[in-house]
């Protein structure tokens, strides 16, 4: 009979944070968020479709919320996780800037 805690996944915030700062996770998140931001910027510059613009503004607004939360988590993780958190800060900061740029272009 297994003892308490054997074979169970760690649910500690530190363990979850390490997973969130893993390079593979950052690559996936950065590509997803960056792609949405880049496509929105291209759409704002090339297309003039109001329904699409409304959807893209909402999608980029969600990206801003996610990017902001990720930046806050990365800022708090800097002291403990060092370089991985700094990389996360750069990735999510660039994605946040892309989403904000897309929203400004779509509204303008």
More confident residue, 16 or 83: 83
Residue 85 has phi, psi (to 5 degrees) of -70, -35
Q: Measured between alpha carbons, how far is 70 from 107 in angstroms, rounded to an integer?
A: 25
The encoded tokens of residue 50 equal 């109001």
Look up tokens 């990735």; give the residue: 91
Q: Give the separation between CA 79 and CA 69, rounded to whole angstroms.
A: 17
Give a yes or no: residue 14 inside a domain.
no
Residue 5 lies in a domain: no
Tens-place pLDDT, residues 15-55:
555 566 666 777 777 778 888 888 888 887 887 778 788 88
pTM above 0.85, yes or no: no
Is residue 15 one of the residues assigned to a domain?
A: no
- The whole-angstrom separation of Cα 84 and Cα 78 is 8
Domain count within the chain: 1
82 located within any domain: yes
Q: Is 22 left (phi over 0), alpha (psi -120 to 50) or beta?
A: beta
Domain extent at residue 57: 29-107
Mean pLDDT of 60-87: 85
């Amino acid at each position: 009979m297994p003892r308490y805690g054997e074979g169970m996944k760690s649910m500690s915030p530190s363990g979850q944070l390490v997973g969130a700062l893993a390079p593979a996770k950052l690559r996936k998140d950065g590509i997803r968020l960056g792609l949405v931001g880049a496509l929105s910027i291209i759409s704002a510059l090339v297309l003039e479709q109001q329904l699409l613009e409304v959807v893209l503004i909402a999608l980029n607004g969600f990206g801003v919320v996610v990017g902001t939360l990720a930046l806050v988590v990365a800022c708090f993780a800097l002291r403990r996780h060092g370089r991985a958190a700094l990389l996360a800060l750069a990735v999510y900061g660039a994605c946040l800037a892309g989403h904000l740029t897309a929203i400004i272009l779509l509204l303008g």
